[in-house]
Amino acid sequence: MRKSVIDAAAVTGASLTQGRIVAECKYGVMHLDSNAVLWSAPERERANRPLLVLMHGKGANESDLFGLSPLLPLEPVIASVRAPLPDGPGFSWFDQAQYVDGTPTLENADAAASAVLDWLDGLEYASVSILGFSQGGAMVLQLLRMAPERFIGAVNLSGFVVRGTHDGDAAIEALRPPVFWGRGTEDAVLPPRLIDDTIDWLPTHSTLTERIYEGLGHGVTAAEVKEVGDFLRSCEV
């Protein structure tokens, strides 16, 4: 069984919601499975409240980050979504068969981000923030590149910016949306070149809150989650 990125002693768990898999990848079109979303509130309590969307990493599923919910701000409704591409026992945002030099392409990232934006179009909310881990963190930054005006806050945990110049980079550079980027000094999963790209890109394309955690590998700690909560509350002001 795959080990969760979350320290089990620091967070509560959540069961996996069963639902049909929707991954229509012909011509680059992807869709999220609305039946696989884990919600922190019943449908009758969601409309016109702030929304926080959680996006897991490669090979995981919607339950992986949902255990963070009790440690995050209470005001937003939390929706933990499933990536559209089956990947072993879990799901991923990017098709590894389409990687170039070991990294996802802008086209693949745009297709995945478009699926999230299409899903959001069908919801009612007062505001929306996004949080992602690893590939999900890359998704956070890709969504900002595509629609920076839609999000009041963005959290990238052990993630990276997809390489290349995007058509939306000028718009996000002008808006500088608030972004939290947390990563560990012992992360052996992210290639150094992706970390270096993100170090160069984020300060010029966001209002950046950066945190580096000594001794942390490719994961999330309770101390980091507390800082994430503080950051998200500041975005709501």
- Read off the pLDDT band of 5 (50, 70, 90): low
156-202 tens-digit pLDDT:
999 999 999 999 999 999 999 999 999 999 999 999 999 999 999 99
Across the range 18-44, mean pLDDT stands at: 70
Mean pLDDT of 31-54: 96
What is residue 16's predicted lDDT score, i.e. its pLDDT? 28
Query: Rounded CA gap, 237 and 235, in Å?
Result: 6
* Residues across the chain: 237
User: Cβ neighbours of residue 43 under 8 Å, at least 6 residues apart?
Assistant: none
Q: Token match 């052996």: residue?
A: 188
* pLDDT value at residue 100: 86
Does position 24 have pLDDT exceeding 60, yes or no? no
Handedness of CA 10, 190, 106, 4 (dihedral sign): negative
Cα maximum dimension of the chain: 46
Is 180 within 8 Å of 154 (Cβ atoms)?
A: yes
Which residues are paired to 154 by β-bridges? 130, 179
> For the CA atoms of 53, 58, 63, 64, what is the dihedral angle to 10 degrees?
-90
Interatomic CA distance for residues 140 and 160, integer angstroms? 9
How far apart are alpha carbons 113 and 37 in whole angstroms?
Answer: 16
Report the distance separating Cα 185 and Cα 168, nearest Å: 30
Specify the pLDDT at position 123. 95
Q: Is 11 helix (H, G, I), strand (E, B) or coil?
A: coil
- The answer to which of 19-23, 70-74, 92-96, 165-169 has the lowest mean pLDDT is 19-23
Task: Kindly tell me if the per-residue pLDDT of 27 is higher than 50.
Answer: no
Helix, strand, coil shares, percent, the chain, to 5? 35, 20, 45
Helix (H) or strand (E) holding 139: helix 135-146
Please tell me the predicted confidence (pLDDT) of residue 61. 98
pLDDT reading at 88 higher than 90 = yes
**Average pLDDT score over residue span 210-230:** 97
Question: Phi and psi at residue 67, in whole multiples of 5°?
Answer: -65, -15
- pLDDT the model gives residue 11: 34
| Confidence grade of residue 29 (pLDDT, cut at 50, 70, 90) | confident
Q: What is the pLDDT of residue 237?
A: 60
Q: Residue 96's pLDDT is what? A: 83
Average pLDDT score over residue span 203-228: 97
What are the chain's domains? 37-236 (3.40.50.1820)
pLDDT of residue 236: 85
C-beta of residue 220 within 8 angstroms of C-beta of residue 180 = no
> What pLDDT does 14 receive?
28
Tell me: pLDDT of 10 over 90: no
Helix axes 106-121, 135-146, angle to 10 degrees: 70
Produce one character per residue of 63-83: b if its CB has 16 or more CB atoms within 10 Å, e if not.
bbbbbbbeebbeebbbbbbbb
pLDDT of residue 109: 96
Instruction: Tell me the average pLDDT across 94-114.
Output: 90
**Helix (H) or strand (E) run with residue 79 in it:** strand 77-81
What is the rounded distance in angstroms from the CA atom of residue 31 to the CA atom of residue 111?
9
